Chain A
Amino acid sequence: SQQGEEDPQALSIQEGENATMNCSYKTSINNLQWYRQNSGRGLVHLILIRSNEREKHSGRLRVTLDTSKKSSSLLITASRAADTASYFCARPPSGSARQLTFGSGTQLTVLP
């Protein structure tokens, strides 16, 4: 079952702007991952943040994790049209470190 949701469901911005997507969850986690999916394609892993980490960077991506609020955010800086995709957060369901439960995703559109 899906535990938590991404917010917003859809986001449209201009090229060069920053995009922020949020993910909330309900049970305690040991890690949280973000994935990207281009239309009609498979998912691509972007970044993993552990429960003892508060922030992680990868290129133009910045992920934060607040375990007290059970939430995470993905920031894409200086967005490009090629960043247009759906973004999903995923975390192990309670009691299992080897499965992942995915949220419903945020559809990001970057306008040129």
Chain B
Amino acid sequence: DGGITQSPKYLFRKEGQNVTLSCEQNLNHDAMYWYRQDPGQGLRLIYYSQIVNDFQKGDIAEGYSVSREKKESFPLTVTSAQKNPTAFYLCASSMGGADYNEQFFGPGTRLTVL
């Protein structure tokens, strides 16, 4: 089945630790995105990548880092510099080539800082 997967579903972190969230897609999409969602809120863009080995900061990139070494994978690291990391993190992908591209979302990772 084609799709986009995220792991783990739930993640707990102690203050001061870095954690990495996984995002994999087998849709052959060029573009991938990371969003943060706080309770009752919309999505805010953290980072996005239009092509392998290239990525751009979104609206709230501080305290986060990403890599795009493979087309299928776009991991997100939440660093200790992120002061309020408890949130629901969503990864998405899109074809990225044309102007009107829907985004396909993974099931999300809920990160809780203890």
Contacts and interface: CB of A to CB of B under 8 A. Distances in A.
A41 B108 contact: yes
Contacts of A31: 99-100
B74 interface: no
A14 to B, nearest CB: 23
B103 interface: yes
Contacts of A105: 41-42
B1 interface: no
Nearest to A104: B42
A100 B100 CA distance: 10
A43 B105 contact: yes
Interface residues of B, number: 29
Given A1-B59, A104-B41, A42 B100 contact: no
A88 interface: yes
A98 B42 contact: no
Given A31-B99, A41-B107, A48-B100, A102 B48 contact: no
Given A1-B59, A98-B50, A45 B42 contact: no
A30 B100 contact: yes
Contacts, number: 62
Contacts of B40: 104, 107
A22 interface: no
Interface in A32-76: 33, 40-45, 48, 50
Given A40-B108, A41-B108, A33 B102 contact: yes
A81 interface: no
Contacts of B63: none
Nearest to B90: A42
B101 A98 contact: yes
Nearest to A1: B59
A78 interface: no
A102 to B, nearest CB: 4
A92 B102 CA distance: 11
Interface of B: 31, 33, 35, 40-45, 48, 50, 58-59, 88, 90, 92, 94, 96, 99-108, 110
